[in-house]
Amino acid sequence: MIKQALVFLSDGCEETEAVTTIDLLTRAGINVTTASISNSREVECSRGVTILAKKTLLDIQNIDFKVIILPGGLKGAENFRDCPLLIEKLKQTHQKGGIVAAICASPAMVLQHHNLFPNANMTGYPTTKEAFQNWKDDRVYFDEQNKVITSQGPATSIDFALKIIEVLLGRTKAAEVAQQLVLPSGIETYQ
Cβ atoms of residues 11 and 79 within 8 Å = yes
pLDDT class for 2, splitting at 50, 70, 90?
confident
Report, at the CATH architecture level, how domain 4-179 is classified.
3-Layer(aba) Sandwich (3.40)
153: nearest Cα among 85, 77, 60: 77
pLDDT in tens, 57-101: 999 999 999 999 999 999 999 999 999 999 999 999 999 999 999
CB-based contact 50:34 (threshold 8 Å): no
For the chain, the structural domain boundaries read 4-179
Q: In sequence order, which residues have a C-beta less than 8 Å from that of residue 159 and are 6 or more positions away?
A: 139, 140, 151, 187, 188
CB-CB contact of 65 with 3 (8 Å): no
Catalytic residue among 13, 45, 83, 104: 104
* Angle formed by the axes of helices 157-169 and 171-179, nearest 10°: 140
CA distances from 88 to 71, 83, 100, 119, 173 (A): 17, 9, 12, 19, 31
Q: Is 45 a catalytic residue?
A: no
pLDDT tens string 3-35: 999 999 999 999 999 999 999 999 999 999 999
Please spell the DSSP secondary structure of 28-63, one letter per residue.
Answer: TT-EEEEEESSS-SEEE-TTS-EEE-SEEHHHHTT-
Q: What is the C-alpha separation between 64 and 66, in angstroms, rounded? A: 7
Instruction: Determine whether 44 is exposed, middle or buried from the number of CB atoms within 10 Å of its CB (0-12, 13-18, 19+).
Output: middle
CA distance 166 to 161: 9
Across residues 40-68, what is the average pLDDT?
A: 96
